[in-house]
Amino acid sequence: MYFILLSTLIIFLGKIGLCTGQNNCSLAGINTIQSCYATYFQFLNLTFINGSAPNYNTYGTVLSTYLSIGGVPDYSKLCVAQNTMIKCFANYDPNCVNTNGFQKALGVPAEDANEYLVNLGVIKWDCNAGYGDMVNNWNCLQNLWDLHFDEIAACGQYIPPNFNMTGFSCLKGVSIIQCYKNAYGKYCGSVGGYIGCEFARSGLNELDSNCESQYRPCTK
């Protein structure tokens, strides 16, 4: 299922809290994030409850169920909804693109805020520059997620158990990206490796762009 392709990366990166950010996300920025997500959630029959977005696991489960039934046709519809949300974000406060900003806007704990941030980074890529490759390789990717998920999960070795104490280095990010590239490339060829690379790279960059210049561009 589609959510599986994101879940391991999001679990790894969402828990670590790379970039908490300053507490200077404007009220206008918070309102923009809330409005953009509220519209997107309607597509999935989700909603804010008492000012809080669904926890990330709930969102991911709904997303996974939706796509497991409809495959590529529903993925295409999803991308329309996700791109509408991305356009909505065009003018939002850059001071809100961090853990604290998303915590305030979505009314969720830090871990969920990080998971939503990683997800946002990935969908910016896979519903735009990566869309054609995703669609053309959907069956291979589906088999990878269903049959070889353990090899993707193994990329977690680059996140130590005491991560919050040791901090994050760009070299760990490079290792995560390479691991995803290798795992996807093993079963889906050079294009698969490119997709895996972009999943990891785009998610890392959305959570914390400080290492972006040290990540090599993904190639097919």
Considering the domain boundaries, does residue 219 fall inside one?
no
Considering the domain boundaries, does residue 96 fall inside one?
yes
DSSP 134-200: HHHTHHHHHHHHHH-HHHHHGGGGGS-TTHHHH---HHHHHHHHHHHHHHHHHHHHHHHHHHHHHHH
Which two structure tokens, joined as six digits, stand for 156?
Answer: 């977690």
Residue range of the domain that includes 180:
2-214
Does the pLDDT value for residue 163 go beyond 60?
no
Q: Count up the domains in the chain and report the number.
A: 1
Q: Are 48 and 34 in contact (CB under 8 A)?
A: yes
Considering the domain boundaries, does residue 73 fall inside one?
yes
Considering the domain boundaries, does residue 220 fall inside one?
no
Considering the domain boundaries, does residue 203 fall inside one?
yes
DSSP 35: H
Does the pLDDT value for residue 104 go beyond 80?
yes
pLDDT tens digits for range 115-136: 898 889 999 999 999 999 999 9
Considering the domain boundaries, does residue 81 fall inside one?
yes
